[in-house]
Chain A
């Protein structure tokens, strides 16, 4: 099996040994109606309504979406438009907390007797992939083709982020039970938990935990970025290639983030939907880097203040990892379901772009064996045919090419711009 490209990054996992702490309840939360890929939800509540923890406050009929629940108990102050980090705007519900965190009566364990019940329960949990991309989980659980393997993604290949690692160290039983639920209801015979070898403690712990379940094994991955990319993980764990235009299920695989699996178990057991999540807070001006449990809708500022970040010095705010995360532009922006990290930096380097020297490092680094240097030329020439031939549509924006480029060319960025030139199919 040929090795895929990728890059070795400094891990910066300074928060990995800190036990997760809980954020003091914020005074207000702003809960966006879009926190996942897919359709936006319509808010049910209006200003003045009181809401409870776990109460559904927004939903949609669209299949490619999940409902939104209140993460706090309190009073709705406003339903307004906000701008998200990706530049889009959506409706959001502002709730003033009452401090009691009274749990809604809606919160009760779902009755699951069939695959349909299970999938619907996962949807009602409001669950989206907790790894960062925010793909609605229930859709993954409805493959159109037979699936023989579940791959649980515990790679956490981005620098700084340790929220999945803390999940593995603190809630290994939830993870295992979540995996068993998926295996049971989807009738999948085998599960692999893929973990990068820079997390030996997690590998050891989970290997012990899965000993009594022969259908689950832990698979050690090399710690080269991007192990956690779906296609890369499937290739490295199973040797299967997810082809162009295919879903993992076309190769008989479902990939799920490890914290997502644990969340499935917690919901089935307690009925408490996804209203809070673990967020890694780190960066060069964060004096108390930590992993913190944050109610959905908490502002970035709240989390940074808690971690002792001097926001006056803040120059760059990254939501997610440094390789694929998005820049935040507003400290009041709320954290959603897929926010796995908040990174605050004062020192930022913006190296000057120089001529391509055709060193080929980008080609070697690309895990999908694309040719970023050629793609860049084709993009500047607006050569659509060449872009198609070079398969720019396969680029997953992992950023390896930009990372390794000695001429500091913005190759990954160009690829995303180039994709926009392709005719819609």
Chain B
């Protein structure tokens, strides 16, 4: 007689797994990766691969040191590495990018218990730490399409730096110049982090994630909608504000991180609106030109409170009477 397996119901399981979700996110970022390589050249691809590999290594090594089960195969470290890379300028020294990965994976994620336990988005914190530590490197924006080493300074360039013997011309972010055309902003022909400039590629990826049911449209719509509304009220160029900086990347790919954002739709709505308000305030009044990553981090921190405030009401549930103290 063979042994029968006895287990509690249900005895069937849906096909969705953490690994598949992460794979979907990686696939959704493919257009942005391709766009970044076209716009900023081979170094963008190297930066992406480096960050993904470094993140995976940090994840693996930390798990070994902490004597925990290996989790590289869930692909979450690869997603973090990719997102961090997309949030870096193409000219950043590689060692600094690796420090960013270390902060993201080891400090923010693994020291808090690994996937699912971190309170803040690892890629966001990685980016912010780099931003505060290496402000010049993190705010030096290469002029698009000058990776073939132009002899003449292209229009809009305000300086140049040497990378591996090549001269790369640099200029300010469109959030500062406010002179880029909508078309350039939409296609990514502006300075910025490698993954944030091409709105088209990001929108393709974002819509893919929504269609696949990986992310809820509530957060990006609330986030972008709030920024649009506040800029409208402030009399700014709404479309320009939406297309420039890291708004679309942040709204679709970072503010929708499961772990660090609210679980219910109402919570996601509040989260998105909060991000939008903070982004607008920083862009409008702050000394930083960009506020997307700070806004997401700040909202990550209040997420437990949003969650506690937006619990679902079970069907037909009776209110629990407050006990007489």
Contact = CB atoms under 8 A, between A and B. Distances in A.
Interface in B1-46: 2, 4-14, 16-18, 20-21
Main SS at interface, chain A = loop
Contact of A241 (B8, B113, B315, B320): B315
Contacts of A173: none
Contacts of B12: 9, 159, 322-323, 403
Contact of B17 (A242, A312, A406): A406
Interface in B57-76: 71, 74, 76
B312 A369 contact: yes
Which of A244, A325, A367, A373 has the most chain B CB within a 10 Å cutoff?
A244
Most chain A CB within a 10 A radius of its CB, from B9, B21, B115, B259: B9
A361 B15 CA distance: 13
Given A315-B4, A327-B4, A357 B10 contact: no
Contacts, number: 148
A403 B14 contact: yes
Interface string A232-257: 00010000011111100000000000
Nearest to A159: B12
Contact of B10 (A323, A363, A370, A394): A323
Given A4-B315, A368-B314, A374-B311, A357 B116 contact: yes
Nearest to A330: B4
Nearest to B260: A358
Contacts of B71: 354
Given A354-B18, A354-B74, A370 B312 contact: yes
A413 interface: yes
Interface string A295-325: 0000000000000000011111110001111
B4 A397 contact: no
B259 A322 contact: no
Contacts of A322: 9-12
A324 B318 CA distance: 26
Interface string A140-160: 000000000000000000010
Given A357-B21, A358-B116, A402-B13, A416 B8 contact: yes
B9 A359 contact: no
A374 B12 CA distance: 23
A367 B114 CA distance: 30
A244 B317 contact: yes
B2 A406 contact: no
Contacts of A413: 8
Contacts of B315: 4, 231, 235, 241, 367-369, 394
A159 B11 CA distance: 11
Interface in B234-293: 258-259, 261, 263-264
Contact of B14 (A7, A159, A328): A7
A45 interface: no
Nearest to B21: A406
B96 interface: no
Interface string A344-361: 010011110011111111
A329 B317 CA distance: 37
A403 B2 contact: no
Nearest to A323: B10
Contacts of B117: 355
A359 B261 CA distance: 9
B9 A394 contact: no
Interface residues of B, number: 39
B316 interface: yes
Nearest to A343: B11
Of A354, A374, A390, most buried by chain B (CB within 10 Å of CB) is: A354
A243 B318 contact: yes
Please classify how large the interface on chain A is, using the bins under 10, 10 to 19, 20 to 34, 35 or more: 35 or more
A407 interface: yes
A326 interface: yes
Given A403-B13, A404-B14, A244 B6 contact: no
Nearest to A243: B316
A371 interface: yes
Q: Which of B259, B263, B320 has most chain A Cβ within 10 Å?
A: B263
A241 B316 contact: yes
B116 A410 contact: no
Nearest to B117: A355
Interface string A203-225: 00000000000000000000000
A390 B264 CA distance: 14
A368 B16 CA distance: 22
Interface string A361-380: 10100011111011000000
Contact of A314 (B2, B116, B261): B2
Contacts of A416: 8
A329 B4 contact: yes
A133 B259 CA distance: 37
Contacts of A407: 17-18, 116
Contact of B5 (A316, A361, A363, A371): A316
A20 interface: no
- B71, B113, B311: residue with the most chain A Cβ atoms closer than 10 Å: B311
A408 interface: yes
A397 B316 CA distance: 17
A389 interface: yes
Contacts of B21: 357, 359, 406
A371 B307 CA distance: 11
A354 B14 CA distance: 15
Contacts of B76: 357
A414 B109 CA distance: 26
A235 B311 CA distance: 21
Given A355-B117, A410-B8, A245 B263 contact: no
A349 B7 CA distance: 11
Given A325-B11, A359-B258, A351 B317 contact: no
Nearest to B74: A354
27 contacts: A231-B315, A241-B316, A313-B2, A316-B4, A348-B5, A354-B74, A355-B18, A355-B115, A357-B21, A357-B115, A357-B259, A358-B261, A360-B264, A369-B312, A369-B315, A370-B314, A371-B312, A373-B263, A390-B314, A394-B317, A399-B9, A405-B14, A406-B20, A410-B8, A412-B9, A412-B10, A416-B8
Interface of A: 4, 7, 9, 159, 231, 235, 241-246, 312-318, 322-329, 345, 348-351, 354-361, 363, 367-371, 373-374, 388-391, 394, 397, 399, 402-408, 410, 412-413, 416
Given A231-B316, A371-B263, A410-B8, 12 more contacts: A316-B11, A324-B9, A324-B10, A350-B5, A359-B258, A369-B312, A369-B313, A369-B314, A369-B315, A370-B314, A406-B18, A408-B13
